[in-house]
Chains A and B, each alone.
Chain A
Amino acid sequence: DAMVIQNPRYQVTQFGKPVTLSCSQTLNHNVMYWYQQKSSQAPKLLFHYYDKDFNNEADTPDNFQSRRPNTSFCFLDIRSPGLGDAAMYLCATSRVAGGGDEQFFGPGTRLTVL
């Protein structure tokens, strides 16, 4: 089935140790998103790609970076994770630019920072 896949589902890292989260999609969607969701809070948009065009939210910390090497894959790099970065990280896709089209979410990667 076409879907949004996130690996790993659970990631444990040490304070300050770089970590990369992965997302892939078989939907061939143009737009890919990364969200951070902390416990009992709404998902917060970090950035999105429309094709290779990267769009950073104004309040996304510099500690968070992203790469999209091709249509199917998108990576979230956290350069120096702090305790406050422990959260669920959600990847999503949508078909078209300009909005007005449903987002499809992956199952998320839960990041623990020790």
Chain B
Amino acid sequence: GESVGLHLPTLSVQEGDNSIINCAYSNSASDYFIWYKQESGKGPQFIIDIRSNMDKRQGQRVTVLLNKTVKHLSLQIAATQPGDSAVYFCAENTGNQFYFGTGTSLTVIP
């Protein structure tokens, strides 16, 4: 499989602060990327995606940045809330296959 890795396995932030979660991917042919949120005992939940012809995409309180030069992806969460506490995965897509990164566990401190 592909190698998609995250730089930090755990992240703790104060409620209201911004969070940044990073991801490195290895396949330069990957053309689509997704960030997922996974809460304990549940399946991954789609947060935001970005195609390789873009370098930034914004959603509600979330922004994904893509740097194809260094094969790096980041997820920014604005005004982090306790409900954002979860494990976050990036996934890269090549053809029909999706490969997941290691995951970052985000803890929001009230």
Residues of A participating in the B interface, judged by any CB pair closer than 8 Å: 4, 31, 33, 35, 40-45, 48, 50, 55, 57-59, 90, 92, 94, 97-108, 110
**Number of residue pairs A-B, CB distance < 8 angstroms:** 74
| 8 shortest interchain CB distances as A-B pairs | A105-B43, A42-B100, A99-B93, A100-B32, A43-B100, A105-B44, A107-B43, A108-B43
Residues of A within 8 A of B31 (CB): 99-100
Residue of A nearest to B97 (CB): A45
Mark each residue of chain B from 19 to 30: 1 if its CB lies under 8 Å from any CB of chain A, else 0. 000000000000
B interface residues, how many (CB within 8 angstroms): 27
Q: Which of B43, B91, B95 contacts A106 (CB 8 A)?
A: B43
Contact yes or no, A102 B1, CB < 8 A: no
Do A100 and B98 touch (CB < 8 A)? no
Check A45 against B43 for contact (C-beta < 8 Å). Answer: no
13 further contact pairs, Cβ within 8 A, besides A44-B100, A99-B95, A103-B34: A41-B102, A42-B103, A44-B1, A45-B100, A92-B43, A98-B95, A100-B93, A102-B34, A102-B49, A103-B91, A103-B98, A104-B46, A107-B42
Are A90 and B96 in contact, with the CB atoms below 8 A? Answer: no
Closest to A6 in B: B43
Q: Please name all residues of chain B whose beta carbon is closer than 8 Å to the beta carbon of A108 when the two chains form the complex.
A: 41-43
* A33 lies within 8 A of B43 (CB): no
Tell me the B80-110 residues at the A interface (CB within 8 Å): 89, 91, 93-103
Chain A to chain B contacts (Cβ below 8 Å), 29 pairs: A4-B43, A41-B102, A41-B103, A42-B89, A42-B100, A42-B102, A42-B103, A43-B100, A45-B99, A45-B100, A55-B96, A55-B97, A58-B1, A59-B1, A90-B43, A99-B93, A99-B95, A99-B98, A100-B31, A100-B51, A100-B93, A102-B34, A102-B49, A103-B34, A103-B44, A105-B36, A107-B42, A108-B42, A110-B41
